[in-house]
Amino acid sequence: MGSSASTRAPLEAMDKEIDMEKMMGKWFVISSCPTPFEKNAYNATELYEWIEDEDGSNAEEQQQQQIESKGDDASASGSGSDNDNDNDNYTVSSAGGSADGGGSFSSSNNSNNNNNNRRRRQAKTKRPPHFKVTFGFNKGSFDGPWKEMYQKGSVYSENCAEWRVRPKLLGVYIPVKLPFLIIDCADDYSWVTVGYPSRKYLWIMSREQQMRPALYAQVQARAVEQGYDADRIQMVPQQPQQSAE
């Protein structure tokens, strides 16, 4: 017998470096393999926003301060080993690869070692760790009531193409982090395809409310090439917005 979906290898995120800053903002959901909560959705959108702390500061700034403080502590304790870099375990990793530590080091160069180690740690944690997702849609029709669902996400992979997301259900963010994968993305971030390891869910999204049919066909075909069933991908009705006179 041929291979089946149950024996197929799990879907993986793309290798491409994802610029999370360019992922922020509003996306229109063009098509999907929807979750049960998204069925019968019209005019569906997703809004990505960085989460700010209670004092209003961005999470990136706070994390940068924490890492700088840790680097200073390491320097004060005389730790100059590169092993310190290997033992750091941060939730968010930079997609930019390792920092350029250039040059050779000697036993009299502990201060430079410490500075370079700190720069590596800062590069690893450069991106803000958490963002929120607001999924909004008209329920049942273009004129149906507007509904919103909320999620909290965090960057999981070094290239920022794999996320962990916690949906909010019954007023509480569930303690389970679901793996969301960016499997395709335009170079100019005009469209993106987000998948799920089992291929049960899929979202093809665009910055515009409509995608050119030829372009959409290409994007969907690329998802099918990665193991999605074309018959399960459903178009999401989008009512063209009328421009103000």
Domains of the chain: 1-11+21-49+141-207 (2.40.128.20), 59-99+107-124 (no CATH)
Three-state DSSP class for residue 94: coil
Nearest partner of 173 among 151, 197, 196, judged by Cα: 151
Report d(CA 182, CA 53) in Å as an integer. 26
Nearest partner of 64 among 33, 29, 40, 92, judged by Cα: 92
Report d(CA 220, CA 202) in Å as an integer. 10
The answer, yes or no, to whether residue 9 has pLDDT greater than 80, is: yes
**What's the rounded mean pLDDT across residues 240-245?**
61
Beta-carbon contacts of residue 43 (< 8 Å; ≥ 6 apart): 137, 138, 142, 237, 238, 239
- The percent of residues above 90 in pLDDT, for the chain, comes to 62
Residue 124, sorted as left (phi over 0), alpha (psi -120 to 50) or beta, turns out to be alpha
- The percent of residues above 70 in pLDDT, for the chain, comes to 64
Higher pLDDT, 206 or 117: 206
The answer, yes or no, to whether residue 180 has pLDDT greater than 80, is: yes
pLDDT for 140: 97
